[in-house]
Amino acid sequence: MRYSKTRPPAFTLSAGPVDAYPEVLRGMGTTVLYDFDPAFLHVYEGVARKAQTAMDMNEPPVILHGEPVLGLEAAAASLIAREDVVLNLASGVYGKGFGYWATRYASRVDEIETDYDDAIDPGAVAEHLKKHPETAVVSVVHHDTPSGTLNDINAIGQVVADAGALLIVDAVSSWAGMETSPAACQAGIYITGPNKCLGCPPGLTMAAVSDAAWEKMEANKDAPFASMLSFTDWKNAWKASEPFPFTPSVAEINGLDTALDRYLEEGPEAVWERHALTAAATRDGVRAMGVDIWPKREEIASPTCTAVRMPDGVDAGPVLAEARARYGVSMSAGRAETLGKLIRIGHMGPTAQPAYALVAVAALGGALQALGTNADIAAGLGAVQARMDQGL
C-alpha cells in the first residue's frame, strides 16, 4: 500500500504547524462575534488573563494577530533603535535569521555563532558583553527548531541582565512544552505562540514585555505605530475597556481560549512530562536502531522535537518521502543549513504522546531500510517501549 501525496497523511509528526487538538478546532468553530461586542471583549480579557497564568506573568502578555514571525519582527522593529548595538546569538537557522532583522534597525550587529548541532556558551556571551559594554540588546532562540537544540536561556538571561542589556527571546517552539518562562530568563521581550506546544493552528503571537523594554520601546521614535508590527498599539488591547487598534483574529482567540483551558486543566508539569518522555523514548529508539541524533550532546536535545542525523551519504528528502508513502507518516525536513542533513520528529501538543515514538521510529527505520540503509527496527521499538515503561 502507498499513501497518496494528495491526501492527508495518517500521522502528522511535524515540528510545526502541528496537529491541533480536536477541542481547539471545535473552539474555533464557535460563533464569530463582533470584536467590540461586550461578550467578545469579555472573552478577550479572559484569554489574556489565562495566558498570563500559563506564562507565569504579573500582567497579561501582548497578543499580536499573526503567527510568531510577526512577533519576532515586531520585537526587532520596536525595541532596536537606530543607535543601538545588538548582539545576536546564532546556534541555528532562526537565530541566524533574527540577525537579518536586527541589521535592518541597529547601528551595528555583532554575532556569536556556533555549529548548528551545538549551543551558545553563556560564558562566551559574558566575555563579549564585558568587551562591548555598549551592547543594548541581545537576541537568542531558546529551541532552534531546525536543529532540535536548546540554548540555556536562563543562564544567558542572567549574563545579559548583569551587563544591563535587554534580551529578546524566541521561545516559539519550547514554551508550553517544557519549563520556561519570561521571568526565569529575565527577558525584555519573550516571544511565543500557540501554534506549537499549545496545539493550535498558526495565527497568533503571545509576547511578554518587561517594564524596561516598554520604556525603551516607548522612547524609540522609529518604533512602528498604527501598524500590526506595533507593540505599543496592542499594549492595552487586552482590557475590555480599551479599543482594539485593528481587527483581532476572533476565531484564533476562541481557539486559544480552549487551548489555555486545556493546558491549565491538564497541568503544565504533566504536559511538560509527556513532551519530555516522548522525546526521550524517540531518542532511545533512534539510537537503538543504530542511527544518531543531530544534537551534539544529550543535554541540549529538545523535548519538543527530535532531530535525527542522516547516515553518511543519505539525503533526508527521499527518506521523508518514503516514510510518508509507505506508512502515512509526515515528519519535518531541516531548513536552510540543516536541509537534507536531518529529519525532525515533532513532539508538540497532541503529538507529545510517547506511543507516537513507536510510530516515528518504525516509519523512519522502515524508510531507511527501503533506501538500502541498515536500521535495526526491532531494537529501536524495544528501546522505545522500555523507555515508555520505565519513564523519565
Question: Which CB atom, from 48 or from 172, has the smaller least distance to ligand PLP?
Answer: 172
Please tell me whether 344 is known to bind a ligand: yes
Minimal distance, residue 98 CB to ligand PLP, in Å: 9
List phi, psi (to 5°) of 114. -115, 175
Question: Which CB atom, from 66 or from 248, has the smaller least distance to ligand PLP?
Answer: 66
Q: Is the peptide bond preceding residue 182 cis, with omega within 30 degrees of 0? A: no
Cβ atoms within 10 Å of 369's Cβ, excluding its own: 15
Question: Which CB atom, from 68 or from 354, has the smaller least distance to ligand PLP?
Answer: 68
Tell me which residues touch ligand PLP (CB under 6 A).
16, 67-69, 94, 141, 143-145, 170, 172-173, 193, 195, 202
Cβ atoms within 10 Å of 37's Cβ, excluding its own: 11
Question: Which CB atom, from 73 or from 284, has the smaller least distance to ligand PLP?
Answer: 73
Distance CA 96, CA 112 (A): 10
Minimal distance, residue 305 CB to ligand PLP, in Å: 8
Classify 144 as helix, strand or coil.
strand
DSSP string, 82-107: TT-EEEEEESSHHHHHHHHHHHHH-S
Residue with cell 489565562: 50
Distance CA 257, CA 23 (A): 11
Minimal distance, residue 304 CB to ligand PLP, in Å: 10
- Crossing angle between the packed helical segments 268-288 and 377-390, to the nearest 10 degrees: 150
Minimal distance, residue 171 CB to ligand PLP, in Å: 8
Question: Which CB atom, from 179 or from 242, has the smaller least distance to ligand PLP?
Answer: 179
Q: Which helix (H) or strand (E) holds 359?
A: helix 355-370
Question: Which CB atom, from 202 or from 382, has the smaller least distance to ligand PLP?
Answer: 202
Minimal distance, residue 261 CB to ligand PLP, in Å: 22
Question: Which CB atom, from 147 or from 254, has the smaller least distance to ligand PLP?
Answer: 147
User: CA 143: distance to chain centroid?
Assistant: 6
List phi, psi (to 5°) of 65. -100, 65
Strand partners, 372: none
Minimal distance, residue 71 CB to ligand PLP, in Å: 8
Distance CA 87, CA 109 (A): 6
Minimal distance, residue 153 CB to ligand PLP, in Å: 12
Minimal distance, residue 143 CB to ligand PLP, in Å: 6
Distance CA 192, CA 329 (A): 27
The counts of H helices and E strands in the chain are 13, 13
Q: Which helix (H) or strand (E) holds 274?
A: helix 268-288
Contact of 197 with 275, CB cutoff 8 Å: yes
Question: Which CB atom, from 145 or from 385, has the smaller least distance to ligand PLP?
Answer: 145
Residue numbers in the known binding site for substrate are 344
Residue numbers in the known binding site are 344
